[in-house]
Structure 1
Amino acid sequence: MKWAPVEEKKRIESLDILRGIAIFGILLVNMKSFSGPDDPIRSLSYEFFDQPYDVWTNILLDFFVQGNFITMFSFLFGFGMILMAERAAENDKSFVPIWIRRQFVLLVFGILHVVFFWYGDILITYSIVGLLMLLFYKLQPKFLLNAGIVLLVLYGLFMTSLTYFYWASGTALSEQAASNAHHLSEIKRSIQIYSEGTFGEMTAERIREWKDLNSFLPFFIAGLLPMFLWGAYAAKKRTFSNRTLWKLWFSALILGAGSKLLPILWFGYKGEDWHYDTAMSWGYEFGGPMMSIFYICSIVLLYRHGKFKRLFNLFRFTGRMAFTNYLTQSIVASTLFYSYGFGLYGKYGPLVGVCFAFIIFGVQVLFSKWWLSNYYFGPFEWVWRSLTYGKFQRLKRVNEHTAF
């Protein structure tokens, strides 16, 4: 028996729905970096886009979206790894070589993504964490669960402590003026390059920004690993009763929403003392994964109940093409905002970015539905799978009718 990508009829619909929702949440967050220099803007001690509607858009994104969906995708990645390992065992095939090749192809996609489109790529990090998961995927479910809990708590406390002591030492306030000036210079440079510069200048800037963003890559990896472990745990355990899901739902809501609420309550302290930045650090590093679990439980419970079936079906299409949709979001957004397209970079705040995100994702829903009625995989999924398995996968549906 040949080992090949999972057959369409054997796909787990709830996973595709979760992927589709996650890719929309990721777009909502990423749009701020697509449309302007979000990293230096967020590092300022004050609000750059200070209109009330932009301030509240940022606050709502921080609470409902920021850090919640990149961790959800990490969970799904770990879940998918176990499914792939199980299929390899069923077909009496060696899993590790094919997984390594799969991660290497993902790494290449990530590098090309950074060089040609966007510095905020997550594929490179996922490829590294995916390889690291080879140390864990054979372990017992209970160990995966507990290891994820310990790692997440320790990581959250560590990152939050760093932020607190940075403020408590007085360094943050003493260097604030110089820091603001530096970030304003970065903002000005980025806007000039992306809205007016050549492709070569933009490429050099993307690589520089990627290096800055990933200067603490080991910490970033440590922050994502717990969700990979929990995804692997869920895949091995596989069956969760509604009662268990409701317990997880309630616990994740309290821990996630509670952590995420702190920076909102202390928003007025931004740039003044330790309250806001320390709370934001804890809310992102610990609250984000907890909100992700809350969302996952909510979606699965609603899916089992049969509510919002039509809405879920729309996300199912985009979820089956999550890789293609993730990359095409960068292609479309760079065309909208960079100089070789419409040159809108830096001209609009987060509220307009959210509006663009809804439009782009709406088009992706329609495109995904059409594409999957004619083809088995998304175009980038097809390339990834073909390179992973070492042979061209069948792509086009021939003489068949598929009811969606």
Structure 2
Amino acid sequence: MAQYPSPLKETSRLQWIDEARGFAIFGIFVVNIGAFNAPYFLYGGEETAWTSSIDHTLRLIIDIFFQASFYTLFSLLFGFGIQLMKERLEMKSLSVFPILGRRLGALICFGLVHAFLIWHGDILLTYGLIGLLLLAFLNVRGRTMLSWAFLLMGMTVGLLSISLYQFREYIGQPNLFAAEQALSNYQSGNLIKVWEQNYVDWLYANEGISYLLLIGTLLPLFLVGMYIAKQRWLHEPKKHQATLRRLWFVSLLLFAGIKAGPYLFGNPAWFSMIQDNIGGAFSALFYIISITFLSQMEGAKKLLLPFRYVGRMALSNYITQSLVCFLVFYLFRLYGAMTPVGLMLMVLVVYSMQAAFSRRWLTHYRFGPLEWLWRSITYKRIQKLRRTEQEV
């Protein structure tokens, strides 16, 4: 009789990984909502749109603590999850490559819908496509993974930073025509114009060498996530406490130095690749280890519960955030109308509602709705969604 993977029991899950995933969903929303609300994050020109001191302060906080810190965190968790799934499939003597291939294929399909019908800033399509490259690394040694990660990230960030420095005088010029065109189309209330502009924005963000750069920066993070899972540092944090403490301290220093340090020198635009990709990677490592430590403390467990519920339904909540933003900014025609303060209030309200809903949903169901669909496609078998009376 064929075996099918069963859902992980509550006691078998690494709760701090769910919490880190939920925290990543919060941070991603903080960053994404600005790009959902206005064209300045893609085309530049925000300095002329948001001029108050509180606007500048919020932008500074987001740039240091959120920008490039949470997609990197989610990327580490993505690689971590791939490695966990591989190990679990092997324990059940199931074929790893076909199942992971279907899982990534389904993610690509989710991404296509999200990228072209909801928001050009989608990451699912990119994760699915680059994730296929991970299949080539499933059976390599941990050190080999780490070597490839350092090589790819070092070459990509190093070469591009040298190029940016050489042309530093031409960096940062806003594309005002494109920004005005985006404002006009997204504020029109016309769904066809919204989708056309969304497609233009997607091409602008992803054409040419951009996808190659994504491979050079995301694939290394996936590989580091797989390496961490292979080492089992986060499986048994008490056993590996000394290693984790060293990593926590080093990542904190590099996070602070690379992400915040440039502001002491005017935050030069040419340094952005190092600031975002290297600094962002260390900030992600700092966050995930911090959450792991906090999750072991009785006093902090209740504070982390909302993140855990959201993290268990990460895909559903990510898409829901985009749907809410699509409704508010495009259909209600509030695109470009909200200030950074208003956006952060919206993030807190929406995320709080998601945490409450996720908790309620998971009381009665095993997976989030999109997680259930994703899992059913992955295993070519309809999964049991509703919990039994004993599980409830």
Structure 1 length as normaliser, TM-score?
Answer: 0.90
Gaps of 5+ in 1: 268-274
Q: Which whole-Å CA distance do the structure 2 matches of 1:90 and 1:234 have between them?
A: 19
Instruction: Please tell me the residue identity of whatever aligns with 2:325.
Output: A
8 Å contact from structure 1 (residues 36, 346) kept in 2 = yes
Letter in structure 1 aligned against 2:214: F
Query: What residue is the counterpart of 1:312 in the other structure?
Result: 304
The one-character-per-residue Cα deviations of 1:284-332 (angstroms, maximum 9, x if unpaired) are: 1210011111111111112223341101111110000000000000001
Q: How does 1:319-334 map to 2 (within 5 A)?
A: 319-334=311-326
Q: CA deviation at 1:38?
A: 3.4
Which of the numbers 39, 42, 55 marks the counterpart of 2:41? 39
Tell me the SS of whatever aligns to 1:196.
coil
> Partner residue of 2:112?
111
Matches within 5 A, 1:216-365: 216-239=210-233, 241-267=240-266, 276-338=268-330, 340=331, 342-365=332-355
Provide the C-alpha distance between the structure 1 equivalents of 2:150 and 2:275, rounded to a whole number of angstroms.
16
Q: Does 1:196 align with 2:195?
A: no
1:76 maps to: 77
- In 2, Cα distance between equivalents of 1:311 and 1:154: 40
Partners of 1:71 and 1:289 within 8 A in 2: yes
Contact map agreement 2:40 2:46 (CA 8 A) in 1: no
Using the alignment, how far apart are the partners of 2:380 and 2:391 within structure 1? 28
Listed one character per residue, the Cα deviations across residues 203-228 of structure 1 (whole Å, up to 9, x for unaligned) are 11111111111121110121111111
Task: Work out the CA distance in 2 between the residues paired with 1:221 and 1:354.
Answer: 31
Matches of 2:253 and 2:364, distance apart in 1: 44
Q: 1:377 touches 1:395 (CA, 8 Å); kept in 2?
A: yes
Contact kept in structure 1, 2:115 and 2:125, CA below 8 Å: no
Rate the CA distance shift 1:276–1:48 in 2: closer, same or farther, 3 A.
farther
Answer yes or no: is the 8 Å Cα contact 2:76–2:225 preserved in 1: yes
> How far does residue 352 in structure 1 lie from its aligned partner after superposition?
1.6
Deviations 1:152-210 (A, max 9, x none): 2332222222211111xx444xxx7xx44xx2222221122112141111111111111
Match of 1:270 in 2: none
Within 5 A, what are the aligned runs for 1:364-379?
364-379=354-369
C-alpha contact (below 8 Å) 1:59/1:264 kept by paired residues: no
1:60 corresponding residue in structure 2: 61
Residue 206 of structure 2 aligns with which residue?
214
What amino acid maps onto 2:316 in structure 1? T
Query: How far apart, CA to CA, are the structure 1 residues paired with 2:25 and 2:277?
Result: 19
Consecutive unaligned residues of structure 2, counting only runs of 5 or more, are none
Distance 1:47 1:250 in 2: 38
Stretch moving more, 306-315 or 285-294: 306-315
Kept after mapping to 1: 8 A contact 2:35/2:42: no
2-structure distance, mates of 1:165, 1:51? 33
Structure 1 vs Structure 2: percent identity of aligned residues? 34
Tell me whether 14-23 or 254-263 shows the greater mean CA deviation: 254-263
CA distance in 2, matches of 1:46, 1:373: 46
User: Contact 1:21/1:315 (CA < 8 Å) preserved in 2?
Assistant: yes
CA apart distance, 1:79: 0.8
User: Residue type of the partner of 2:355?
Assistant: V
Q: How many residues align?
A: 383
- Residue 89 of structure 1 corresponds to 90
Q: Which deviations, in whole Å up to 9, do the C-alpha atoms of 1:254-297 show, x marking residues without a partner?
A: 11210111332234xxxxxxx61023332112100111111111
Alpha-carbon distance change, 5 to 114 in structure 1, aligned in 2, over 3 angstroms: farther
Tell me how far 1:28 sits from its aligned partner: 0.4
The yes-or-no answer on 1:388 pairing with 2:378 is yes
Contact kept, 8 Å, 2:17 with 2:292, in 1: the verdict is no
TM-score, with length taken from structure 2: 0.93
Give distance in 1, aligned partners of 2:25 and 2:222: 17
Q: Which amino acid aligns with 1:25?
A: G
Q: Which amino acid aligns with 2:367?
A: F
Query: What residue is the counterpart of 1:100 in the other structure?
Result: 101
Query: Is 2:163 the counterpart of 1:162?
Result: yes
Instruction: Decide whether the 8 Å contact of 1:159 with 1:285 is kept in 2.
Output: no
1:136, 1:227 → 2: CA distance? 13
Residues 47, 8 of structure 1: CA spacing in aligned structure 2 closer, same or farther, 3 A cutoff? farther
Q: Are 2:38 and 1:2 equivalent residues in the alignment?
A: no
Question: Does the CA contact (< 8 Å) of 2:5 and 2:89 recur in 1?
Answer: no
2:392 equivalent to 1:399: no
Question: Does the CA contact (< 8 Å) of 1:3 and 1:88 recur in 2?
Answer: no
Find the residue that maps to 2:51 and give its secondary structure.
coil
